[in-house]
Amino acid sequence: MNTSAAIDSLPSGRRSLNALVRPRTIAVIGAFDHANSVGHTLVRNLHALHKRDTVFLVSAHYATIEGVPTYPSITALPMAVDLAVIATPAPTVPAIIRAPA
């Protein structure tokens, strides 16, 4: 049984894992435009796997990355996301997690 079929077979209360394993929308917090950075690698890989309009880039440093507009914060996103990936230096993560969504 593949992963997708296994998740579909779960009772409805456990399907809440869908947002984690099959997110419809994703935010990359700390998206970066330098080719060898973690934030840029995540952006490239997610764009290869998902439609560009379902991956939102959050960056305080760039207006666009690979031609895709960025948002200055997660609160500026046009909609709620299923999954947020944080690609920032470790000391910044607690403040990002505590920030209002």
Domain layout of the chain by residue ranges? 28-98
**pLDDT at residue 22 in the model:** 80
Q: CATH number of the domain at 28-98, please?
A: 3.40.50.720
**pLDDT at residue 29 in the model:** 92
Cα of 67 vs its chain's centroid, Å:
17
Q: Which two tokens stand for residue 3?
A: 């992963």
Neighbouring residues of 84: CB distance < 8 A, sequence distance ≥ 6? 26, 27, 29, 74
pLDDT along the chain (101 residues), means of 10: 55 64 87 84 83 85 90 92 91 88 64
**pLDDT at residue 13 in the model:** 56
Query: How crowded is residue 89: how many other Cβ atoms within 10 Å of its Cβ?
Result: 9
- C-alpha span between 18 and 71 (Å, rounded): 25
Amino acid in the structure at residue 88: T
